[in-house]
Amino acid sequence: MKLKSAILRRSRFVRLGVFVAVAGLLAFATIGSASVSANAAVPTAQAQAAAATSLPCDLYAAGGTPCEAAHSTIRALYASYSGPLYQVKRASDSAVSDIGLLAAGGYVNDAAQDSFCASTSCTITKIYDQTTNHNDLPISWGGYWKGPGANGADIGANATALPLTIGGQKAYGVKVTQGVGYRVDNAKNVPTGSKPEGVYMVTSANFVDQWCCFDYGSGENSHTDTGNATMNAIEWGTACWFGGCTGSGPWVEADLENGMYSSNTGPNQPSYTGVNFPFVTAMEKNNGTSNFTLKYANATSGGLTTGFSGPLPNGYSPMKTDSSILLGTGGDNSNSGVGEFFEGAVTAGYPSDATENAVQANLAAAGYSFGSGSTGGSGPLHAVGAGKCLDDPNSTTTQGTQQQIYSCNGAANQTWTRTSSGQLSVTVGGTTLCLDANGQGTTNGTKAIVWSCNGQVNQQWNFNANGTITGAQSGLCLDVTGASTANGALVELWACNGGSNQQWTLG
């Protein structure tokens, strides 16, 4: 199908695995959970090495469906992996640096990025493949739909736009905004044609849209639409491409080229209304001839749910999958999709349910979080640089009022409550309002206002290990304008820069 709209773009997506002691691995993943949890508060290299016993690609290999491409900016996906995770490029002098691990099989050495990128900005220029195939993901050269970079290439993600913690250790994910895309063509040993293939990734419901395409998986080497069944990728977002959907998403969908499929007919099943977690496990597998299956879960707890499992759409059997591996765009470089990526892999073969359950158990044990501690809590929100408190001016209950800092006084208009859903609320005169990114803004200078609490993503705030508070939707930091220390200085959103005017403590 072809659409003329420059916004919508065209759509192009969207052996039975050997069971080898995966039940034992699932039990072992549960044991690993206790190990990670016990060491989360002090994530030393030794503790990480001890915890990294069986990681996702070890589990897939044990199930007879090995990873042929594995990518993460957060952690190792093999217990033995000790190489680099990703590469960053510094804006000030165009120097590049590889960011690696604290220990083999462990978490990212985030301090290496912080040190290298201090006083400037950095871009993620490459995400390394952790398999022996070396299917590394550089920034894509573009495609049918041109990217915003030089000569129509895509651009890299801001390296500090998506802070989080994992096992208590600070890390940075890949925040895919429109135009960001990574890709390796003619990837080695990945399934092609009608060979069975599995894909998983960890993403988030905090940052999604309905456009094509925030994908991870297999696409065309030509970066053009080469017809139905030439892709096999996870598509994540709120696209209801064929109409008739139930709920508002977002959904784990299959981009099989020329359609984002939540079922073999297109729209989602009535019971599959959407997946809304800060961290989402997304899985898709395709046996190449008769079945594809979509699964999802809260990546921090619980088990997998099957959103769909059934026949391939009409005209998609057998599959004709090509060997390009992509992240962030559609097969022909459709680049209007947005999303967040933390880890993922492409496997040879059709993973068993037991293998996938074991992988989910490992993810739930990993300790993904957007906070620096437990959620909840109430008290003054201190602006560290100014030595003052976030203040609702004159205890107003007027929606849209921009917030300020003021000398701390313990009054109700300076008492903020952090909820388990990530909101920051203040109650004055019996009225409760929430801190809100004005107009769902995602640009520098967006006002931090109060508004009726509605649970939308522009009212969700991440407390980070480095003392910043970032908008879940924008990734921007809560910022005292102009680094002012004066009473009445206004508060806004601004790109995170390490300044003390972006440091906050609650309580």
State both tokens at 330: 């559609």
From CA 252, how far away is CA 178, in angstroms rounded? 19
Q: H or E element: which one contains 261?
A: strand 260-261
Alpha helices in 431-491 (DSSP H): none
Q: How far is CA 199 from the centre of its chain?
A: 15
Question: Is 284 one of the catalytic residues?
Answer: no
Pair 481, 491: CB distance under 8 Å? yes
From CA 256, how far away is CA 261, in angstroms rounded? 7
Pair 401, 488: CB distance under 8 Å? no
In sign, the C-alpha dihedral spanning 187, 188, 190, 191 is: positive
CA distances from 505 to 233, 435, 446 (A): 41, 16, 21
SS (H, E, C) 68-90: EEEEECCECCCCCCCCCCEEEEE
Pair 493, 479: CB distance under 8 Å? yes
SS (H, E, C) 315-357: CCCCCCECCEEEECCCCCCCCCCCEEECEEEEEECCCCHHHHH
The active-site residue out of 136, 284, 332, 340 is 332
From CA 506, how far away is CA 381, in angstroms rounded? 5
What 3-state class would DSSP assign to 483? helix
Minimal CA–CA distance to 225: which of 334, 337, 332?
A: 332
The active-site residue out of 129, 136, 257, 356 is 257
Alpha helices in 45-201 (DSSP H): 45-51, 56-62, 110-116
What 3-state class would DSSP assign to 22? helix
Question: Is 257 one of the catalytic residues?
Answer: yes
From CA 349, how far away is CA 337, in angstroms rounded? 28
195-208 burial string, b = 16+ CB within 10 Å, else e? bbbbbbbbbbbbbb
Active site residues: 257, 332
